[in-house]
Amino acid sequence: MRKYVIMGVQGSGKGTQGGLLAAGLDLVHISVGDIFRWHVKNHTKLGAQVRRLVAAGELVGDDLVADVVRDRLQLHDWNYGFVIDGFPRNRRQAEFFLESYDLDGVIHLDLPDEEVWRRVLARRLCSRCGMDYNLIAHRPEVEGRCDVCDGDLVSREDDTPDALARRLGDYHSKIDPVLELFRGKEYVMTIDARADKATVQRAIRTRFNLPPYEG
Ligand SMILES: [Zn+2]
């Protein structure tokens, strides 16, 4: 069984890389962001709570994140292991996680803040079908329109410069200490996340001596 944590600032591609790694090694990809987005989309009670926080420009609290992750891991559907992204969010959670799960490694996707700005502010979302676009990496064929359903492309409501500055500040103040903790106890591999996604995935596999990426 293999258990990994993948860490990186928003826009570093940790969702994509976690997904590729999980698909290739038969692991379960646990993305805290995806779990919350699912709840928002399906109008659950938790989703309503998250929506209120986001609308108020606040972040989802660490304890709420910890509850969601604990519930998810308790499903025990990860026979071959898991890749988790979006957790742990502070040192206390990291210590608890290290005591509870025997991690095989921590993948740290390193992306300079100026590149985060460029990537995140280029993201667009179809207001009708929800398809993701990116004005740098995945441009729509017709400006401002969805290729699939011709819906209007909009920014995510939390992708404003103010909100991004706040999230970046929050990330560094909380996650940098978590990384320090992991560096002292676990196998942390820092991967340059500026390359294209196949190159980044190959680098992850090489650094952890995993089967090569065929994509
Ligand atoms: Zn669409």
Give one DSSP letter per residue of the chain, joined into a string. Answer: -EEEEEEE-TTS-HHHHHHHHHHHHT-EEEEHHHHHHHHHHTT-HHHHHHHHHHHTT-PPPHHHHHHHHHHHHTT---TTEEEEES---SHHHHHHHHHHS---EEEEEE--HHHHHHHHTTEEEETTT--EEETTTB--SSTTB-TTT-PBEE--TT-SHHHHHHHHHHHHHHHHHHHHHHHHHS-EEEEETTS-HHHHHHHHHHHTTPPPP--
**What's the 120 CA to ligand 1 centre distance in angstroms?**
19
Q: What pLDDT does 167 receive?
A: 87
pLDDT at position 61, please?
A: 86
Which stretches of the chain drop beneath a pLDDT of 70?
none
Q: What is the pLDDT of residue 192?
A: 97
**Cβ atoms of residues 175 and 182 within 8 Å:** no
- Condensed to tens digits (0 to 9), the pLDDT of residues 58-93 reads 778 888 898 899 889 998 899 999 999 989 989 989
Cα(65) to ligand 1 centroid in Å equals 30
Quote the pLDDT of residue 152.
Answer: 97
What is the end-to-end Cα distance of the chain in Å, rounded? 23
Q: What is the pLDDT of residue 21?
A: 97
pLDDT tens-digit readout, 100-125: 888 999 999 999 999 999 999 999 99
Provide the pLDDT for residue 11. Answer: 86
Distance, CA 124 to ligand 1 centroid (Å)?
11
- Residues lining ion ligand 1 (Cβ < 5 A) are 126, 128-129, 131, 146, 148-149, 151
R_g of the chain, CA atoms, integer Å: 17
Q: Which residues are annotated as a binding site for AMP?
A: 37, 58-60, 86-89, 93, 156, 167
Residue 65 burial by CB count (10 A; 0-12/13-18/19+): exposed, middle or buried? buried
Report how far ligand 1's centroid is from the alpha carbon of 68 (Å): 29
Residue positions forming the annotated binding site for ATP: 11-16, 123, 195
How many whole angstroms from 141 Cα to the centroid of ligand 1?
12
pLDDT at 205: 97
Calpha distance 29→129 (Å, rounded): 23
Residues annotated as binding site for Zn(2+)? 126, 129, 146, 149
Task: Please state the pTM of the whole predicted model.
Answer: 0.83
Determine the longest span between alpha carbons in the chain, in angstroms.
51
The Å distance, Cα 132 to ligand 1 centre, comes to 9
Q: What residue numbers does the annotated binding site cover?
A: 11-16, 37, 58-60, 86-89, 93, 123, 126, 129, 146, 149, 156, 167, 195
User: What is the distance between the alpha carbons of residues 19 and 53, in angstroms, rounded to a whole number?
Assistant: 27
Contacts of 190 by beta carbon, 8 Å cutoff, 6+ apart: 108, 110
What CA–CA distance (Å, rounded) separates 213 from 58?
38
Enzyme catalytic residues: 14, 89, 123, 156, 167
Q: What is the pLDDT of residue 158?
A: 80
